[in-house]
Amino acid sequence: MASLARGAGPARGGGSRLPRVPARRMLEILQATYPEARTALDFRTPFELLVATILSAQCTDRLVNTVTPGLFAAYPDAARMAAASPEDLEPLINRCGLYRNKAKHLAAAARALVLRHGGAVPRTMAELLDLPGVGRKTANCVLANAFAVPGIAVDTHVFRVANRLGLASGATPAQVEAQLQRRCPRRAWADLHHQLIWHGRLVCHARRPDCGGCPLRHLCPEGRRRLREAPAEPGARGPARRRAGPAGTA
């Protein structure tokens, strides 16, 4: 039976007061700037997405996409992967960071899928969180991208950009997830997740965000602070519609 102890319910911890920012206008700008944002992971089935998402921890999506074709050729579904040992999987994924741990998780998750779900990927947060190697981020990714269940997976980009914009003020991914859910309409969650990731990859970099070229700079508390401290050059770039860039630029 699926456990609730690991946070299977709605994200918690978003109860603190949020900064007053024009969230709706920010979402409109993100939507206009990244209309095609989607997951950069290649997958054909929910099982492939689950595996790819587990592999993507501390690893770029681009690298994962070079690894998964070989892995899925050998182990195309949960039943086949469940018969494999971690040592069988390791040579196929050893270009990913933490590959030994990931091989253990993949083998164990595949066995759990076969034993508990007839080889299918479950469609609920609780059941996904009960699989080895699956946390809220992975579960939200699978739910949103494989089953169109609204969710906001909080990775390093979402965490950073949401906090800078003042859409969240959380110290943990779970807090940021809960705050974004509170602040943004449910229908926007899945797109917002991708848009914040692309914005973090393309503009709002961790070390040197391009605030002068950011379409949100007039609304963003962090951007206004940075631009005040380092005034923009004359002729700084204005807002631009950005296409989702190459995969795996994290």
**What amino acid positions are annotated as catalytic residues?**
137, 155
- What amino acid occupies position 201? R
Q: Which of 11, 96, 192, 220 binds ligand SF4 (CB under 6 A)?
A: 220
The residue behind tokens 């391009």 is 210
Number of residues that bind ligand SF4 (CB under 6 A): 14
The residue behind tokens 């951007």 is 223
By CB under 6 A, the residues from 145 to 184 that bind ligand SF4 are 161, 164-165
CB of 220 to ligand SF4, least distance (A): 3
End-to-end Cα distance, the chain: 36
Query: From CA 196, how far away is CA 165, in angstroms rounded?
Result: 10
Residue 159 corresponds to which tokens in the numbers above? 């965490």
Query: From CA 82, how far away is CA 65, in angstroms rounded?
Result: 21
Query: From CA 250, how far away is CA 229, in angstroms rounded?
Result: 27
Is 216 a binder of ligand SF4 (CB under 6 A)? yes
Is 211 a binder of ligand SF4 (CB under 6 A)? yes
Using the minimum distance from each CB to ligand SF4, give the nearer residue, 88 or 210.
210
Query: From CA 132, how far away is CA 4, in angstroms rounded?
Result: 15
Diameter of the chain measured on Cα atoms: 63
Q: Which of 209, 230, 244, 250 binds ligand SF4 (CB under 6 A)?
A: 209
Q: Which of 210, 247, 248, 250 binds ligand SF4 (CB under 6 A)?
A: 210
Using the minimum distance from each CB to ligand SF4, give the nearer residue, 131 or 211.
211
List interacting residues with ligand SF4 (CB under 6 A): 161, 164-165, 203-204, 209-211, 214, 216-217, 220, 222-223
